[in-house]
């Protein structure tokens, strides 16, 4: 199959008029959430093919950090679609599709810790106690800013897989991960070494969005229509409950006895703050 690329457009087209949408690769072998988003995109593209035509994903071979991928997307180079936790800067530089891809579960953070420290964390009862410890987070992740604003100590680094090593060797005490991603990652990196500690959750409003280049209104509309359709027929929630990367977050009743340490996120837009309640799952009713 011949792929003809046009630098002046956001997408490329095959000889059979099949749209090729370029996305970034996983951040490493342990980025188990990548398959969730890539399969979700494929589902959306299939559901909207009658209106918009055939399309397929192409995962680029270039090893990209999230920040680099979003910059390429903004510049209209090599990346057509990406997903990320939102903040004001990203919503200004790119076109956000304002439908939370994990239905808000990205904002409920369990703590990845070393297995041999579970009893130590069992003694933590208040946010003040947790704030005496050090959290691992990404250098450019909005979470890092949110946690620091709320008084948490954060050790930032660029590479995703390095954070796990930092937990192992004690350079960080815990690694906050969404309940929709942390369990699968711990299974990958090793339950003998790490624990997905969910007796404490850090909670703040923080949706994951799909982003496209501002000039790519057609793709933005297609993704939004597909996601809305999945919300309306409940298939997005069912997708989350079935997918290996997210299914361990369910049932949400398992968090009934978890301690929720709430935090304020001042980096989200008014549009995000005012999204309809149907977009959000509640961990604690």
Q: What is the pLDDT along the chain (285 residues), one digit of tens a residue?
A: 334 333 334 454 444 578 999 999 998 888 889 999 999 999 999 999 999 999 999 999 988 888 999 999 999 999 999 999 999 999 999 999 999 999 999 999 999 999 999 999 999 999 999 999 999 999 989 999 999 999 999 999 988 889 999 999 999 999 999 999 999 999 999 999 999 999 999 999 999 999 999 999 999 999 999 999 999 999 999 999 999 999 999 999 999 999 999 999 999 999 999 999 999 998 876
Number of compact structural domains in the chain: 1
| pLDDT value of position 102 | 95
Q: Is residue 265 part of a domain?
A: no
| pLDDT value of position 65 | 86
What domain range is 41 assigned to?
A: 3-103+208-247
Q: Is residue 285 part of a domain?
A: no
| pLDDT value of position 126 | 97
pTM, full prediction: 0.88
Q: Is residue 82 part of a domain?
A: yes
What are the E-state strand segments in 69-182? 81-85, 95-97, 108-114, 134-138, 153-157, 175-178
CATH number for 7: 3.40.190.10
Q: Is residue 254 part of a domain?
A: no
- Which of the 8 DSSP states describes residue 285? -
- 237, 177, 86, 47 alpha-carbon torsion, rounded to 10°: -30
Angle at 272 between CA 271 and CA 274, to 5 degrees: 70
């Amino acid at each position: 199959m011949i792929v003809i690329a046009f630098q002046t457009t956001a997408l490329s087209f095959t000889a059979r008029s099949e749209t090729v949408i370029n996305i970034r690769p996983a951040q490493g072998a342990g980025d188990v959430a990548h398959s969730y988003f890539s399969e979700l995109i494929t589902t959306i593209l299939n559901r909207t093919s009658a209106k918009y035509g055939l399309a397929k994903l192409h995962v680029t071979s270039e090893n990209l950090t999230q920040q680099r991928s979003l910059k390429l997307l903004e510049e209209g180079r090599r990346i057509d679609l990406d997903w990320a936790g939102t903040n004001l800067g990203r919503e200004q530089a790119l076109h956000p599709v304002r439908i939370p891809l994990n239905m808000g579960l990205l904002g409920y953070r369990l703590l990845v810790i070393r297995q041999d420290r579970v009893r130590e964390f069992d003694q933590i009862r208040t946010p003040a106690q947790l704030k005496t410890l050090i959290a691992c987070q990404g250098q450019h992740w909005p979470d890092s800013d949110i946690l620091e604003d709320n008084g948490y100590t954060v050790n930032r680094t660029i590479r995703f897989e390095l954070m796990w090593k930092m937990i192992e060797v004690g350079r960080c005490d815990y690694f906050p991960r969404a309940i929709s991603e942390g369990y699968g990652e711990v299974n990958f990196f090793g339950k003998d070494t790490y624990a997905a500690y969910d007796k404490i959750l850090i909670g703040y409003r923080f949706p994951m969005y799909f982003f496209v280049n501002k000039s790519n209104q057609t793709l933005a509309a297609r993704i939004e229509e597909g996601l809305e359709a999945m919300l309306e027929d409940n298939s997005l929630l069912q997708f989350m409950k079935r997918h290996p990367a997210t299914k361990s977050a369910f049932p949400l009743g398992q968090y009934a006895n978890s301690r929720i340490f709430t935090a304020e996120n001042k980096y989200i837009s008014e549009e995000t703050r005012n999204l309809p309640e149907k977009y959000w799952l509640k961990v604690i009713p």
